[in-house]
Structures are given as C-alpha cells and as structure tokens.
Structure 1
Amino acid sequence: MNNKQKKILRALFFTPIRKNILWADVVSLIQGLGGKVISGSGSRVRFELNQMSLNIHSPHPGNELKRYQVQAVRDFLLKAGITDEI
C-alpha cells in the first residue's frame, strides 16, 4: 500500500464523514489492500477483500462518494479486518 492509499484509508475513517473522497482512490485502495474490484452491469461494482464483499454503485454523475457510500466502504473495511491503523 502506497502513501496515497494510506491517506485515503485515513480519510475514510475520519469523523465527521468526508464527502470529497474520489471513487478512483477507493478502487485503488481496495486493490492496494489485495482486494478485487469486479464491475457489474451499469454502475454496479463488487469489492472483495478477506472473504468479505460489498456490492455498491459507483457515484454518478460525479466522481465523489456520497456520505452513505463512505459509511458503507468503512463498514466493509472493518468487517474485512482493516482499520485506519495501518
């Protein structure tokens, strides 16, 4: 995991929830953690990491995650055993 990915990980766990997190950065983070990003139909995407999965829609028309999406990714990372303490 590179420094940018570490920065994104910290941003995902920041309180209050940030709304300026880019989708491409989250995809990069999941891949940097050794996870898989599987594109479905339309804007559907499946993240897989440590035997956990998250089905989520990529943000559109913009490229920044909405707060509920940040919370969903945060919960997914916690269930996969990932915290901001990396």
Structure 2
Amino acid sequence: MHHHERKILHAFFAHPISTNIEFKDAEHALAALGADLDMKGGNRIEVTLKGQKIMLHRNHHSLSKADVMQIRKFLEGCGLTAEVFAI
C-alpha cells in the first residue's frame, strides 16, 4: 500500500470528519485494501471486503460527511480501525 492510500484510509477515521476526500482517491484506497469494486448502474459502486458490502454513489466531487461516516462504519465492520492506518 502506498503512502497516499494509507493517508486517505487514515482520513476516514479523522476527527473532525474530513470533507476533502476525493471519490477516486477513496476508490484507490479501498482497492489497495483488497476490496472488490463492482460498477453498477446509475453511478453506483458496490464495494465488497471481508464479506461486508457497501453501496456508494460515485460523484465528481469530494465525499460528503455522510459518505465518510458510511465508509468508516464499513471499515469498522470489516475489523479495520484507525490504528491500522497510522502514518
């Protein structure tokens, strides 16, 4: 995993919630963890990791606070915590 991907993953657990994470950066970081990204219709992406699934809506802007919280809970459900991505 590259430093930039680790930085993005760490940002998912940042307090206060980060609102400057680009969607494409989030995609690359999740893929670096080994997640399967399945493109669905309507700009949706299904992310599967360690038996857990999440549906994200692809946008061309930064992720919203709600998106970041959704990804954070997804990663926690996969057994991943902020300490894993410490930089």
TM-score (norm 1): 0.92
Q: Output the CA distance in 1 between the equivalents of 2:8 and 2:56.
A: 18
Aligned counterpart, 1:3: 3
Q: Output the CA distance in 2 between the equivalents of 1:24 and 1:53.
A: 18
- Unaligned runs of 5+ residues in structure 2 are none
Moved over 3 A (4+): none
- Unaligned runs of 5+ residues in structure 1 are none
Q: Output the CA distance in 2 between the equivalents of 1:27 and 1:20.
A: 14
Q: Output the CA distance in 2 between the equivalents of 1:81 and 1:21.
A: 22
Aligned counterpart, 1:63: 61
Aligned counterpart, 1:31: 31
Aligned counterpart, 1:50: 50
Q: Output the CA distance in 2 between the equivalents of 1:84 and 1:2.
A: 16
Count of residues in correspondence between the two structures: 84
TM-score (norm 2): 0.91
**Structure 1 vs Structure 2 CA RMSD:** 0.9
Q: Output the CA distance in 2 between the equivalents of 1:41 and 1:75.
A: 24
Identity %: 30
